[in-house]
């Protein structure tokens, strides 16, 4: 069900999630209303209202925690992507300082690597893996840099700096993969359970227009937030999450300076 939702466009996924939560909520409400109405007594009203408030507050708290967690992870991966683009830009600039003519082909290879990150790595991350082509280009880039022979102490320092940045590229790719393989927060399942308990508590009240409106708004809102939590927990799948914008800008910059 989760993979199906994430395979849809953002708006369609939101509508499906909200509709599904509303339908499930109505089913639970009707089942428990039929059950509770057989045994309902007037003295049940206060305990049910108290349970209603407690469960509702817990579900709201868990929703807030889940959303805050995925947003924090999203900010982390975005920062990692920006640092990866900075490392590529740094490699490009230092190669020019090392020797403009001798490193021209290596800088072209670096542009190809950045383009492959967009064209190959990003689609692969949607399937929780990395592109072999990008890995091969990185190895080729590292080998080309290692073949450079520094002629001065300054070039030796520049070469060491370039190699450090190339090593950092591997670390940033692993961070992207780890984020792509991330799972929704464990307490998402607790939220779903709390949501169902809340729907059961609704069963203590007779269907009336104001109650049904409140019920619909509540189920739709929970469905929307849960969809956003699930979508943002896998930021490389679907329409929302992270985009390779930093690499697109980087390629434009490098091409103008090749």
Q: Convert the pLDDT of each residue in 206-241 to its tens digit.
A: 888 888 888 888 899 989 988 888 888 888 877 777
pLDDT attached to residue 84:
93
20 Ramachandran zone, left/alpha/beta (phi>0; psi -120 to 50): alpha
Entry pTM: 0.80
- Return the number of other C-beta atoms located less than 10 Å from residue 201's C-beta: 22
What is the residue-wise DSSP string for 38-59?
Answer: HH--GGGHHHHHHHHHHHHHHH
Give residue-wise pLDDT tens across range 162-190.
999 999 998 999 888 888 877 776 778 88
* pLDDT mean across residues, the chain: 85
pLDDT attached to residue 69:
84
The residue among 242 and 90 whose pLDDT is bigger is: 90
- Return the number of other C-beta atoms located less than 10 Å from residue 33's C-beta: 18
Does the pLDDT at position 37 exceed 60?
yes
The pLDDT > 70 percentage for the chain reads 91
pLDDT attached to residue 177:
87
**Residue with the two structure tokens 């300054």:** 154
Give residue-wise pLDDT tens across range 75-101.
889 999 999 999 999 999 999 999 888
Minimal CA–CA distance to 202: which of 64, 30, 14, 62?
Answer: 30
Report the range of poorest mean pLDDT among 38-47, 191-200, 248-257. Answer: 38-47
Does the pLDDT at position 43 exceed 60?
no
């Amino acid at each position: 069900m989760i993979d199906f939702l994430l395979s849809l466009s953002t708006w369609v996924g939101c509508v499906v999630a909200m509709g599904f939560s509303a339908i499930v909520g109505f089913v639970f409400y009707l089942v428990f209303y039929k059950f509770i109405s057989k045994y309902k007594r007037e003295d049940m009203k206060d305990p049910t209202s108290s349970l209603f408030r407690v469960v509702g507050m817990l579900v709201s708290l868990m929703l807030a925690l889940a959303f805050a967690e995925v947003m924090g992870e999203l900010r982390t991966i975005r920062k990692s992507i920006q640092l990866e683009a900075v490392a590529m830009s740094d490699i490009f600039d230092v190669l020019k300082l090392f020797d403009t003519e001798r490193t021209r082909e290596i800088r072209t290879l670096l542009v190809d690597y950045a383009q492959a990150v967009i064209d190959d790595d990003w689609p692969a991350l949607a399937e929780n893996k990395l592109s072999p082509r990008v890995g091969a280009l990185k190895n080729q880039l590292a080998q080309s840099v290692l073949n450079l022979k520094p002629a001065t102490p300054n070039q030796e320092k520049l070469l060491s700096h370039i190699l450090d940045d190339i090593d950092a590229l591997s670390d940033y790719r692993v961070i992207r993969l780890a984020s792509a393989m991330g799972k929704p927060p464990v307490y998402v399942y607790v939220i779903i359970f709390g949501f169902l308990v809340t729907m059961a508590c609704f069963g203590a009240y007779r269907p009336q227009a104001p109650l049904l409106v409140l019920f619909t708004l509540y189920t739709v809102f929970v469905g929307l937030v849960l969809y956003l939590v699930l979508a943002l927990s896998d930021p490389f799948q679907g329409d929302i999450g992270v985009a390779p914008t930093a690499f697109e800008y980087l390629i434009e910059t490098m091409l103008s300076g090749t």
